[in-house]
């Protein structure tokens, strides 16, 4: 056992230098592997030896992203309980990372961008996972949207009071996350249209409402950011506001057209009549 612990620590020191430099996160060893426990143990040791708070934010962010990718890969092979546990572990890592990031602009921007990326994976899980895990994925997606809103509120304050360099970083992060929310809103609208049963449609509609509410808040944040942003960023932010406003107003159309309250095509037929007028 002592040899095993020493080997684990040795592997940690050999890999720690590159762990935070990797820009692309990939799924680790899957939970179906007998060596999965070793992979998780190495992560815990890495966190213990990572003393700088911002480096720990990066490590937790990477670990959380790995859990989500593992959940996507495992949904076919692993049990429903395993996939649900991976989703829960992802959420736990993200919450810890957000608490450590505090008001550091680099940490907040990293988390905001990573959280935005996670929306795609959570949306996919909410659509394709088993029934019990669809609900967990849907709840995780709603939580991720709430975290994004909080992160963007912190970034907004930095654009008002931070240095010019911090303002630029914060403004770019808010713009990126708003664009990604619009993308997710479009995906959810398509999910609603192709949902095969009322329960799936209702789940997608509830998520769409979360995204719509968050996008509305982000548009307000972007407008506030625009006032304080450096001159070279204002044109890009104005474009982001225009795109966001357009998406915010048009994406819910699918819900109105295809919602579960429709009865045997009455909504579709009335839509066709209006088009023919």
Q: Which residues contact 13 (CB under 8 A, 6 or more apart)?
A: none
Report the candidate in 158, 190, 179, 165 with the shortest Cα–Cα distance to residue 237: 179
Residues present in the chain in total: 277
What pLDDT shows up at residue 93?
92
Q: How many CB atoms lie within 10 A of CB 266?
A: 10
* 269, two tokens: 């037929």
Q: d(Cα 123, Cα 138) in Å, to the nearest integer?
A: 7
Nearest Cα to Cα of residue 86 among 99, 109, 103, 69: 69
Cα-flanking dihedrals φ and ψ of residue 106, to 5°? Answer: -65, -45
pLDDT in the model for residue 250 = 52
CA atoms within 13 A on the CB side of 216: 10
- 215 by Cβ neighbours in 10 Å (0-12 / 13-18 / 19+) ranks as buried
Q: Which pLDDT score is estimated for 92?
A: 92
Buried b (16+ CB within 10 A) or exposed e, 148-187: bbebbebbbebbeebeeebbbbbbbbbbbbbbbbbbbbeb
> What is the residue extent of each domain of the chain?
43-259
**Positions of the chain with pLDDT lower than 70, given as ranges:** 1-28, 75-81, 129-132, 246-277
Query: What is the CA angle 50-53-58, rounded to 5?
Result: 75
Q: Which two tokens stand for residue 219?
A: 């548009």
pLDDT in tens, 123-135: 888 777 666 677 8
Q: How far is CA 29 from CA 43, 66, 211, in A?
A: 12, 9, 32
Q: Which two tokens stand for residue 8?
A: 């684990």
What is residue 146's predicted lDDT score, i.e. its pLDDT? 85
Asked if residues 105 and 116 have their Cβ atoms less than 8 Å apart, the reply is no
């Amino acid at each position: 056992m002592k040899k095993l612990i020493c080997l684990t620590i040795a592997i940690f020191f050999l890999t720690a230098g590159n762990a935070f430099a990797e820009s692309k996160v990939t799924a680790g060893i899957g939970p179906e592997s007998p060596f999965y426990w070793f992979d998780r143990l190495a992560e815990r040791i890495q966190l213990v030896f990572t003393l700088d708070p911002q480096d720990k934010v990066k490590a937790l962010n990477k670990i959380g992203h790995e859990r989500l990718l593992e959940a996507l890969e495992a949904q076919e092979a692993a049990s429903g309980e395993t996939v649900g546990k991976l989703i829960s572990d992802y959420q736990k890592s993200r919450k810890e990372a957000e608490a450590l990031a505090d008001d550091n602009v680099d940490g907040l921007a990293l988390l905001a961008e990573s959280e935005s990326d996670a929306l795609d994976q959570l949306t996919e899980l909410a659509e394709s996972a088993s029934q019990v895990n669809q609900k967990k994925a849907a709840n995780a997606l709603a939580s991720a949207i709430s975290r994004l809103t909080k992160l963007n509120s912190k970034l907004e304050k930095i654009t008002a009071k931070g240095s010019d360099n911090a303002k630029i970083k914060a403004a770019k992060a808010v713009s990126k996350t708003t664009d990604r929310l619009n993308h997710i809103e479009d995906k959810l609208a398509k999910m609603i249209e192709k949902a095969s049963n009322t329960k799936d449609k209702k789940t997608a509609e509830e998520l769409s409402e979360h995204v719509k509410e968050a996008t509305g808040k982000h548009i307000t944040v972007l407008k506030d950011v625009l006032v304080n942003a450096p001159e070279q960023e204002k044109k890009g932010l104005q474009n982001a506001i225009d795109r966001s406003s357009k998406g915010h107003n048009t994406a819910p159309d699918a819900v109105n057209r295809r919602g579960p309250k429709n009865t045997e095509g009455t909504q579709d037929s009335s839509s066709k009549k209006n088009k023919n007028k």
